[in-house]
Structure 1
């Protein structure tokens, strides 16, 4: 049994806490809100984010120092925009090194840093190579109900990845390992952009043909950018790539799909974000990916179109028409990126 702190009491943090509790671990769930922590401890519910019964062995905390005292692992499950601030707090209170695992999916605009890079910058005693990422097709609502789910953990430190795998794996929550943390983090972040697009497509009333094309061509964009940055293209064919892409683009559980759906129905971005009431990581990631594409000279027409809808107030239908009228090209050029021989030998 391990003593583990989960930092972030949203839906995904709560769901991962339940997995850890099911595995017999002593789980401390930290919330930045006193009332939320008190409600979890008294009612064993977290109704705003995930309305399920929370096991008794999960104790909620508002004091971060108390939450992380004596733990062997810290699971960071906060929105990307909060990573730096949370890590600054941890930097001030951590007395001994523990395993750091994050389950956040995003890229910081302007700096274009991945979450593992943000963590290592703010936690001075940790190198990027030591950080573990957990990612894959996993709706919190289904994980909390113990429905079959499969994810991947990745770190350049193989021992840390194996520790994380042992920490989480059980009969309902299967965990694979991968050494390609770059590809795993990029796949988990960039798929949110395509999920916004899938929601927009559905909101416009388009059918399955359009969404299938969007997902497939979106995967090509993700792989094109990822490989330009040094990721293994085969990672994008795995759980944190195509797996996460499918689940996020096709389910009403997906915040990014729901936000896109509202945009497709004519709502403005600010109004959509107010209605959601929770972080929509794809919005920030669109900014980062759009900038990444320009810097890397990588063609990402879907990402560019969604950027225009979100931040330039372009009409979604006009953007779709632009995408459909692009210059003819050979699809195999993109598939070759995913099946590059130097990664399959």
Structure 2
């Protein structure tokens, strides 16, 4: 039997403008017939959440009104969709935060992540903005929900969304069995890329970062060697078969190009700032490198859930901090300090 939310309001983490993050009560709207009410257990703070808080924008997505943050969420179905779609009440679930759609620009039908009208939870890319799910209760389309195995802890399951982003990037890299891999940027996404590369059979994985804490985490999840990027040119000597750039910086992309062998492949995962960027493209040309973009994910989320549940994707070391939702501001400050933290979770 379906349950109704415990109150007409839900506590939520809301960004109002740059630097203005609040934990406040927000009214719960009525659920549509194809929507479920999910009681959120954990939410992971992502790079885009930090950008909205720090800068009032994430890339070209400009914050124009207060918005509930959060798309890396897991919880339990509190009230199932009235039309019978989706999981029943009491089911632990992960959330696929994308809603593909829109008309206009062409894209491959089997890659809905590229659809021009795709919306994402906790995103200001469209107007009105799409509220996220950093809240005690979230009303979500039943199609977004993925049933979790009963033996997968919700805390571990909080990594499913970012791990799916990493999994998609590794899939874009092609068959990496026996390959020498290079990962530029060892923050939470980079660390999850390393874990996914290890599971996919890469024989050597070199992790690069500016700080020791991320490199320590990288070693724990599967890096066979690490490079401190401060004041060193050791990256160029790696000569990787495949490189995944996850730092989101032009210097990181330049290192990725220099660290990849002739005829190799570079996957661009980190979101480089918009606009023209100074990178050594001539080197990519003369080495005949393949440069491939990687954006979000599609149905990889189902494979990630299975891999986390059976233990073949070991990513627990990526989680370094957990805060109660009432202390969201402290949690965001910790997550912003990449030298001291990995994935920071909010516990609702």
Write 1 or 2 for the structure with the bigger share of helix.
1
Per the TM superposition, whether the score is higher than 0.5 is no
Q: Which has the higher contact order (CA 8 A, sep 6+)?
A: 2
Q: What is the TM-score normalised by the length of structure 1?
A: 0.32
Structure with greater strand percent: 2
